[in-house]
Chain A
Amino acid sequence: MSAEQNLDELETQLMQQISTAPDAPALEAVRVASLGKKGSVSALLKTLGGMSAEERQVKGPAFNVLRDQITKAIAAKKSELDIAALNARLVDEKQDMTLPLLDDPLLEGRLHPVSQVMEEISAIFADMGFDVAEGPDMESEFYNFTALNIPEAHPARQMHDTFYFEPDENGERLLLRTHTSPVQVRTMENGEPPFRFIAPGRTYRCDSDQTHTPMFHQVEGLVVDETTHMGHLKHTLEAFLAAFFEVDDMSLRLRPSYFPFTEPSMEIDMQCRRDGNQLIVGEGDDWMEIGGSGMINPEVLRHAGVDATKYQGFAFGMGIDRLAMLKYGAPDLRAFFESDVRWLKHYGFMPIDVPGLAAGLSNKSLSGK
């Protein structure tokens, strides 16, 4: 066998060993056996030192070519084996992606519908330039009645079934405010006209049945300046209710009524129709009472220290719980205060659901079914 033949045979043998190496250690064994210190190719290269210059000139390049080929082949095979090994590992690492997750707090938490609706109301009235005023739940008879032109012993005081506290040594007795109207007087007392504010809050009456709870929420609205008239009241209510119920048009019927703190006084009736259980507002031939309103009685302005010969304005009041019930279809007022988590989760709002005028007040149409 010639030397050339031997070289070819070695090459063939090594290339075959490389290509058939089943894994990285086998390939390493081929590398050591060929290119290692005592490897077959290394042994060939060592023989160059004992050759004549002429012979070396012939054999040298041949041996080096062989060494380079083997080196490349081993590297290529190594890369191939690495990829295969990685793929095998990935297959091994498979997990059951259907295992259920723990509840995400962000998806579990809820705001009470009354809070959400209060934010909606504030957002709408902020756009119309109304501040948000507040006042105490426990009130004096003066602020709850007298300052609102409801004189002592007047039958109108019977209209409100009031929670009272025991009288003090001077015979003065506190009460729980029966409406948010005392905030009108307190806020005007502490400021100077013009005024434009809403006053949401808790209110109380000795009442309990399906549509009455001893505690409920009202929002009061008030504008006082030198020129505001009933037409402004009408537009403000139309604009608010259209925005709140997210309809294009809202038709209202102002119906003459009586409240001691406004003169003239009007009930606010909202145009609506029923479609099965659903209430559709802003259209139809039915009217639904949604609150009371009127031009502020000059006596109230006087009690609040506002010059009633110069200033005039309107006030209105609505039930927040009722607005929430109508908009979001919650049927029973009592459930609002029962704190049943199942109810709260169903009618409540996610913390990321922030009402705003740019995006719309309710997230009613973020996705289809």
Chain B
Amino acid sequence: MKFTLNWLHDHLETDASLEAIVDTLTLIGLEVEELVDPSALFENFEVAEILATEPHPDADKLQICTVKSGSGEQKLVCGAPNARAGLKGILAQQGAVIPSNGMVLGKAKIRGVESNGMMCSGAELGLSGDHDGIIELDAGVKIGTSAAQALGQTDPMIEIAITPNRPDCLGVRGIARDLAAAGLGTLKADVAAPIQSDTKSGVAINVEGDTCPVFAGCLIEGVKNQASPAWLQTRLRAIGLNPISALVDITNYISYDRGRPLHVYDADKVSGAVTARQAKSGESFVALDEQTYELTPADCVIVDEQGVLGLGGIMGGMESGSSLETTNVLVESAWFDAIAIAMSGRHHHIESDARYRFERGVDPASVETGLNLAVQMIVDICGGTPQAPTMGGQVPRPETKVDFDPARVQQLTGLRVEESEMQRILDALGFGVETGKTWTVSVPSWRPDVAAGLQSSAHIVEEITRIYGLQEVPSTPLPKRAGVARPTLTLAQRRAGLMRRALAGRGMVEALTWSFVSEAQANLFHVADGLKLANPISSELSHMRPSLLPGLLDALQRNSDRGAQSLALFELGNEFLAPEPGAQRFVGAGVRAGLATPKNWQSRAASVDAYQARGDAQAALAACGVDAGALQVLPPQSDSYHPGRSGVLARNPKQPMAAFGEVHPAILQAFGITLPVVAFEVYPDTVPAPKGSGSPARSALDLSNLQSLCRDFAFEVEAQVEAAQLVRAAKGADKKLISEVRVFDAFEGGNLAEGVKSIALEVTLQPKDQTLTDVDIEAVSEKITGAVEKATGGKLRG
């Protein structure tokens, strides 16, 4: 919402400075977004007189002018047809910034002739569309006068952000009322008098349907439409509106002055009675924006006996609008239901000042006062004779009265405000107050936001405190629990925090990727039905992610395109399982790509492998409290991974806690990734919560002082036997004595037969009661080889 300081003074009697006004606006909730001081805009522009002109030696249309400014005489080249001796105009001196294009004026040579300064046109100064010549000022203006002064451009423009609850401040008068309440002056009396007419009859107006309960109109005969007077043009330009003609400008002016949208019809193009009603299917009309709109019964239209005149409260029609030839006009001042206008405007994608105001709520009481003001202005500017105004329907008069306990102010804000001050503020804002133990507050018709019911007291408190001053609210600590603050994170949150640091501690870098992926990516990871966005921001981000892997693989690919050879990324976040709130699963996922060990002098360079991904998954599970020793490695359950180089980790085979492995080559190909990639996904929610609150104390530690000893066993087994089977068998051979079993070698080929592999175990024996004898050791060795052979068919290598 834009307005100027002078405009504000039309409604507000005040001697407050611009600075005070601007500061106060922001503090009472009308946030100042921009302040334009035109005197700053016209720095380096001044009044100058052309003393003499002579033809340019090399250009027919150019003249060399000698001009006199406040600082003396200078010569410049000018192409304006009206440049002549004796003309006073606006001279831009060197350093001036031309408002229309932002260019900084310097010394120039034009067709070989030096030009010092520029005489400006209205268009160049951003004041009018006049390109044809330079501005001609009144001969009485003193040379050297500042351009801002000479052009009457001294009125600062203020733009404020209006929150949706304050439609009353979409008019300057509403803003003035707020400022007056805040102590910055007095609201001036309203000026519009009722329409004086000699006639008794007017245009017949009907209203049907719910959207437009009232439509007031006034026919004015014999108007002369023309350019608006300068003051009106200046004001409209100052707020960024182009003056069009007096009739149009007046409606625009009242829209900004009072927040009251109006419409002016060419009465000669309206036949018979005018009706506001819901549109019928199949009706259409051409609006002022020259677009044709197909209407639906949800739209409210204004019709005459021939057809649709306009889309009520949103935009008038091309046919029936006013033009410079118009002599008889019908002025419309109606009221439309906010929601219906919002829906209709949204449906047709029409943005207009009228829609903007009606969908936020126009003061219904302004149906009559707005019409009075419009008719008065039209008659003043364009002449004409008004007929008696007519009205279809009735002005809705929402009588909102709410009970209010003044103690609520302090209860809700901590502010102590005198009751008399509360009363003064409410009164200044137009609220009626009947005091008592509980007050009865009546809400003015221009404040549709202050609703009755549960929230009414909060609204009244807001009005009082925003005007009284929120800066006065006393900063008050919340009561604190005695002692030390308790931990607040849930188990899942604690696990997530530990997982994050465990994975970063393994050299991985945390990424946050979009929650949405492309359709192709979603399908690769088997997205569920119903997870497609109806209005995605792009086709690359159209489906909720069924897995964290596509986002991470995309990130890998982008980094690899930039030349990264070794990458390790992880993310903690939700994957989406079904179209319902809460059908999402928290996952820790990571990818490693390229070289696990880069080229170096100590060891051979090596690519990432599935075992690293398993290590990542185990570390993440350990952060969730899962002992890696308790996990089994089971065959893969997902086709995202290489079927022979992946698996799941589980304590209970029916509920895997993690998946890991090489990413399936088909997926890598789909992502355009040429590096080798391994990945893991960990599901913390599958890890059971500890029973009870638990104790931080550890179990008793039973350590033996006797020396432990190691024995090595190399087994030959069939190739499909898994190492875990050997380890499990060896461990189980003597649970008391065997403290650890470690695989220290695994290979196939060499001098081994086809289909056979060798797995070598180092078994640690830890005696507890007495030192082991050779006989004891021999006995346990036999148990180990026996157990392994029984479980796997493996035999000791000779």
Contact = CB atoms under 8 A, between A and B. Distances in A.
Interface of A: 99-100, 102-106, 108-112, 114-115, 119, 122, 125-132, 134, 136-140, 143, 149, 152-156, 158-159, 163-166, 168, 173-174, 176, 196, 202, 204, 206-208, 214-215, 223, 227-232, 234-236, 238-239, 253-258, 263-267, 295, 297-299, 302, 308, 312, 336-342, 344-345, 348, 350-352, 354
B465 A264 contact: yes
Contact of A111 (B342, B465, B510): B510
CB-based closest 7 A-B pairs: A256-B29, A105-B507, A231-B414, A264-B462, A258-B163, A339-B555, A109-B504
Given A138-B576, A295-B458, A351-B505, A165 B26 contact: no
Contacts of B360: 155
Contacts of B562: 340, 342
B580 interface: yes
Interface string B625-653: 00000000000000000000000000000
A344 B473 contact: no
Contacts of B579: 138, 165, 168, 174
A239 B532 CA distance: 42
Contact of B504 (A110, A214, A267): A110
A109 to B, nearest CB: 4
A189 to B, nearest CB: 13
Nearest to A182: B581
Contacts of B512: 112, 114-115, 336-337, 339
A225 B502 CA distance: 39
Contact of A256 (B28, B411, B412): B28
B478 A166 contact: no
Contacts of B31: 255, 257, 267
Nearest to B461: A264
A132 B544 contact: no
A209 to B, nearest CB: 11
Interface stretch (B287-295, B318-326, B479-487): B479-487
B555 A165 contact: no
A298 B459 CA distance: 11
Which one of B502, B508, B510, B535 has the highest number of Cβ atoms from chain A below 10 Å of its Cβ?
B510
Contact of B507 (A106, A302, A340, A352): A106
B183 to A, nearest CB: 16
Contacts of A106: 505, 507
Given A122-B489, A156-B164, A165 B533 contact: yes
Interface stretch (B67-75, B140-148, B388-396, B597-605): B597-605
A109 B506 contact: yes
Contact of A202 (B510, B515, B581): B515
A214 B513 CA distance: 11
Contacts of A223: 478
B471 interface: yes
B306 interface: no
A173 B510 contact: no
Nearest to B162: A258
Given A239-B477, A299-B455, A312-B412, A256 B462 contact: yes
Nearest to B489: A132
Contacts of B28: 256
Interface stretch (B50-58, B125-133, B493-501, B757-765): B493-501
B340 to A, nearest CB: 9
B164 A159 contact: yes
Contacts of B474: 231, 234
B470 interface: yes
A254 B165 contact: no
Given A108-B507, A137-B584, A263-B462, A235 B470 contact: no
B504 A111 contact: yes
Which one of B26, B410, B478, B487 has the highest number of Cβ atoms from chain A below 10 Å of its Cβ?
B478
Interface in B439-489: 449, 453-455, 458-459, 461-462, 465-466, 470-471, 473-478, 480-481, 485-489
Contacts of B580: 138, 174
A184 B506 CA distance: 36
Nearest to B507: A105
A201 to B, nearest CB: 9
A256 B470 contact: yes
Given A130-B488, A258-B164, A258-B166, A231 B476 contact: yes
B97 interface: no
Nearest to A213: B514
B490 interface: yes
Given A129-B480, A143-B581, 20 more contacts: A108-B509, A129-B486, A136-B581, A137-B515, A138-B582, A163-B533, A196-B478, A202-B515, A206-B537, A215-B514, A229-B413, A234-B473, A255-B26, A255-B31, A263-B461, A267-B31, A298-B458, A299-B453, A337-B514, A341-B509
A245 B9 CA distance: 43
Given A174-B579, A204-B515, A337-B513, A264 B163 contact: no
B530 A110 contact: no
A336 B544 CA distance: 19
Contacts of B331: none
A105 B506 contact: yes
A341 B567 contact: yes
Interface residues of B, number: 103
A170 to B, nearest CB: 13
Is chain A's interface secondary structure helix, strand, loop, or mixed overall? Answer: mixed
Contacts of A256: 27-29, 462, 465-466, 470
5 contacts: A109-B507, A109-B568, A126-B486, A155-B360, A165-B531
Contacts of B297: none
Given A110-B504, A264-B465, A351-B505, A228 B478 contact: yes
Contacts of A235: 475-478
A39 to B, nearest CB: 43
Nearest to B30: A256
A174 B506 contact: no
A308 B453 CA distance: 11
B346 interface: yes
Contacts of B551: 339
B339 A154 contact: yes
B279 to A, nearest CB: 18
A232 B505 contact: no
A229 B458 contact: no
A174 B581 contact: yes
B514 A112 contact: no
A111 B501 contact: yes
A127 B413 CA distance: 24
B458 A297 contact: yes
A115 B510 contact: yes
Contacts of B531: 165
Contacts of A298: 454-455, 458
Given A258-B165, A302-B454, A337-B514, A119 B497 contact: yes
B536 interface: yes
Contact of B569 (A103, A136, A297, A341): A341
Contacts of B601: 99-100
B513 A339 contact: yes
Nearest to A153: B339
B503 interface: yes
A154 B584 CA distance: 30
A277 to B, nearest CB: 24
A230 B413 contact: yes
Contacts of A354: 501
B488 A122 contact: yes
B558 interface: yes
Interface in B398-438: 410-415
Nearest to A256: B29
Nearest to B583: A138
A149 B459 CA distance: 14
A345 B509 contact: yes
B359 interface: yes
Interface in B574-615: 574, 576, 579-584, 597-598, 600-602
A216 to B, nearest CB: 10
Nearest to A204: B515
